Chain A
Amino acid sequence: MAEELLTTPLHALHRDLDGRMVPFAGYEMPVQYVPGVMKEHLHCRAAAGLFDVSHMGQVILRPRSGDVADAARALETLVPQDILALKDGRQRYALFTDDEGGIRDDLMVANRGDHLFLVVNAACKARDIAHLHEHLSRTCEVEEIADRALIALQGPAAEDALDALAPGARDMSFMDVATLGSDFGPLWVSRSGYTGEDGFEISVVADRAEDFARALLSHENVAPIGLGARDSLRLEAGLCLYGNDIDRTTDPVSANLLWSIQKARRAGGAREGGFPGAGIVLDRLATGPARLRVGLLPEGRAPMRQGTELFAAEDDETPIGTVTSGAFGPSIERPLAMGYVSIDHSAIGSKIWGAVRGRRLPVTVVEMPFRPATYKR
């Protein structure tokens, strides 16, 4: 018997919009709507796309002392990021690490004045919440927010569309968070997303979520976008997908996510280490990784999918790496990929080979993102 799939508060809306529903991380989610992945992707880049991301986990970490700094210090025992320096009304990207320096999940952390607000991946959320309970419950209450939907509105028209319903959205900068009043109850808004576009992620009470989504969709520039285009958008933006590009076998240094680890947590910093696997991560930071996540541009039109083995030469037998995400990039109009290669072949401009259906095709290591981000800083 098929596993019972969960649904989000926008499920009826997806059906109404003729979304093609597929199982994803235990939920039944729209992979695409009528226009299809390519048009949806381009619409998001040119106007604005509305994504249901309610399957992701929303978690409040509330300090028992009442002082948000205590929650920040507690969370720093689980992530290598500088959470203490995160100001009220600001958000940053973080990583749960494990004792081997592997990545348990990636997440967003916001300081909302008297508590921290976390958004974690759908497939990891039960494990993440258990992890938070296990390690932080002495200092913090860990509360899963199950009665709110999460909607991402991404693209150049997102600001206009949201500000019309929630005045104040326009005044936010990239990675700001705020609570904005609206006819749909208080919206917990962050100016962020995962597409490389300017945009917002909006937490709204579940029973007003459909009305709110319909109000956004009534804006002439806003269209619903499925998981298919979300994946090609994030790939063009050079962003990792947990489970593909990062997991417990990859560490933050090899994953090229060092930018996310602030100085305070590195060797010689004010709060050096102290997160799971810190010894391994800081050591790898000092000595350099053996392999590195890189951007890859295949020549020609054939996409190099996840699992494609990479070689230094056309006739080498031993692979030097593997593609972890690969697709066609509708905005760059060519195939693109990311993957891990041995450090000797990770320099920008390196020419390597991918094995596609038994044939070796040339591919070049390139800078990411594949398309510049348009964040409002």
Chain B
Amino acid sequence: MKFTEEHEWLRPEDDEENVVTVGITEHAAEQLGDLVFVELPEEGTTIAREDEVVVIESVKAASDIMAPCDGEIIEVNTALEENPSLVNEDPLGAGWFFKMRVADMSDLDAMMDEAAYKKFI
């Protein structure tokens, strides 16, 4: 599992090459507070690193989640549309945002591992 400085996590899928699941960390979820709305991208969208792909709104404010690397959105977590609080309750599990097919998996090498992320926050 890899982490970005924007507090996203990327978990490579075992059974599918070049596919990662993306969400935000517990630390980020706690900082944001209670989420009330998540706007997800459409499946099939091609994205580039730092594109704003997801909008999340807490009770008070909206924030953007940026694409961690280049690729294509292949699945989104539609459960968040009805129940955005999944992100607060289980950020590393049921609160995932999307799965993407990564253009170049070597992009992940530059990202933090869990120990480095813990140090980072």
Contacts and interface: CB of A to CB of B under 8 A. Distances in A.
Contact of A328 (B39, B55, B57): B57
B81 to A, nearest CB: 7
Interface string A69-102: 0000000000000000000000000000000000
Nearest to A333: B36
B57 A302 contact: yes
Interface string B9-45: 0000000000000000000000001101101000000
Interface in B22-77: 33-34, 36-37, 39, 55, 57-62
Interface residues of B, number: 14
B84 interface: yes
Contacts of B58: 37
Contacts, number: 43
A39 B81 CA distance: 20
Nearest to A359: B39
Contacts of A190: none
B60 A37 contact: yes
A32 interface: yes
A302 B84 CA distance: 11
Contacts of A302: 37, 39, 57
A113 interface: no
A301 B62 CA distance: 13
B62 A305 contact: yes
Interface of A: 32, 36-39, 41, 228, 231-232, 301-303, 305, 327-328, 330, 335, 357
Interface of B: 33-34, 36-37, 39, 55, 57-62, 81, 84
